[in-house]
């Protein structure tokens, strides 16, 4: 009997955050009209509570409300930072690694004429295709990759990616779930597919005891509702200092051109800051290949 594929729970939470923030948080800088259509009806309920600013009284619903609201506040500065880096350095190819429920291929007019590839697990991509069926515009090229078995370069080439043409790589919300060896191996694979002028945009988490405690608290809060945490099957496996990440990229020919923590971005955007430590421990590095 075949099993219906399910999106990563963190991918759904990120999409819920974007949907809750669309048109409400930093509206002149952030918008994502693809987020709501990519969610299933039951996933939209907590989004609407956040958009309405109505905190439910029932405990389980209140936890869902707070989780989605926190996601919205963290996702907006991250998305703006990455989108700005994509716009500032146009390339004919864009690859989104671990794309989840990303909507950039549909929502960013700057990508018209750009060949967009989305790399993810096969089951996750099947689920994404079903969810995205109603979106208007050209879809990305889906590149199903079993990261434990398939070679990224070969899978991309089979889907039409050209290693001799400059590529912008988006690596968002994935690095913490990989070991340091897996991160290094991925950077090696990307470098082999990156022509001169390619850009790598990496989002990662810095080491912080408070971040670990926060995740433990979040798991306990979710457990109090009788459900497992959204991160139960997707634990963090690595954190990086900016210096360590920059050194790794430099060994593969990438020079860092921008490095910022999301707390600074949130302040510049005047977005809500209820989770300053989480924002401050999340960074985005932009690195270019000469």
Q: Using one digit for the tens of pLDDT, what is the confidence trace for 26-64?
A: 999 999 999 999 999 999 999 999 999 999 999 999 999
Q: How far apart are CA 179 and CA 279, in angstroms?
A: 22
Q: Sort residue 196 into left (φ over 0), alpha (ψ -120 to 50) or beta.
A: beta
Query: What is the predicted pLDDT for the residue at 233?
Result: 57
Residue with tokens 């987020």: 35
Q: How far apart are CA 110 and CA 22, in angstroms?
A: 19
Query: Do 62 and 70 touch, CB atoms closer than 8 A?
Result: no
Q: Is the pLDDT of residue 220 over 60?
A: no
For residue 2, name the pLDDT band (cuts at 50, 70, 90): very low
In terms of average pLDDT, the best of 6-15, 105-114, 147-156 is 105-114
Joined together, the tokens standing for residue 212 give 């670990």
Query: Do 192 and 163 touch, CB atoms closer than 8 A?
Result: yes
| pLDDT digit string, tens, across residues 171-180 | 999 999 999 9
* For range 68-80, the mean pLDDT: 97
Q: Is the pLDDT of residue 216 over 60?
A: no
Query: What is the predicted pLDDT for the residue at 5?
Result: 56
Which segments of the chain are extended strands (E)? 93-97, 115-120, 141-144, 167-171, 199-205, 254-261, 282-289
Where helices occur in the chain by DSSP H, the ranges are: 9-21, 35-38, 41-52, 59-88, 104-107, 122-131, 152-158, 180-192, 209-223, 242-250, 262-269, 276-281
Q: Is the pLDDT of residue 232 over 60?
A: no
Which residues face 28 on adjacent strands?
none
Joined together, the tokens standing for residue 283 give 């960074």
Q: How far apart are CA 143 and CA 150, in angstroms?
A: 11
Joined together, the tokens standing for residue 96 give 């989104």
């Amino acid at each position: 009997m075949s099993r219906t594929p399910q999106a990563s729970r963190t991918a759904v939470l990120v999409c819920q955050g974007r949907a809750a923030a669309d048109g409400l948080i930093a509206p002149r800088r952030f918008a994502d009209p693809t987020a709501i259509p990519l969610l299933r009806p039951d996933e939209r309920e907590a989004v609407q509570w956040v958009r309405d600013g109505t905190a439910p009284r029932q405990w389980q619903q209140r936890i869902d409300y707070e989780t989605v609201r926190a996601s919205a506040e963290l996702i907006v500065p991250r998305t703006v930072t990455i989108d700005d880096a994509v716009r500032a350095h146009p390339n004919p190819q864009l690859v989104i690694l671990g794309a989840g429920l990303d909507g950039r291929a549909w929502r960013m007019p700057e990508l018209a004429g750009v060949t967009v590839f989305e790399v993810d697990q096969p089951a996750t991509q099947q689920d994404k295709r079903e969810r995205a069926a109603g979106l208007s515009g050209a879809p990305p090229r889906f590149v199903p990759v079993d990261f434990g078995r398939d070679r990224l370069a070969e899978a991309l080439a089979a889907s039409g990616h050209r290693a001799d043409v400059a590529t912008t790589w988006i690596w968002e919300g994935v690095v913490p779930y990989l070991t340091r060896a897996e991160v290094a191996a991925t950077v090696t694979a990307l470098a082999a597919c990156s022509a001169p002028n390619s850009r790598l945009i990496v989002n990662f988490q810095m080491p912080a005891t408070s971040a670990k405690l926060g995740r433990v608290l979040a798991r306990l809060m979710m457990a109090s509702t009788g459900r497992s945490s959204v991160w139960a099957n997707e634990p963090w496996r690595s954190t990086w200092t900016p210096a360590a990440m920059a050194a790794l990229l430099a060994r593969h020919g990438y020079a860092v051109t921008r490095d910022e923590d999301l707390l600074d971005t949130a302040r510049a955007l005047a977005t809500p800051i209820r989770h300053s430590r989480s924002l401050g421990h999340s960074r985005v590095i932009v690195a270019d290949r000469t």
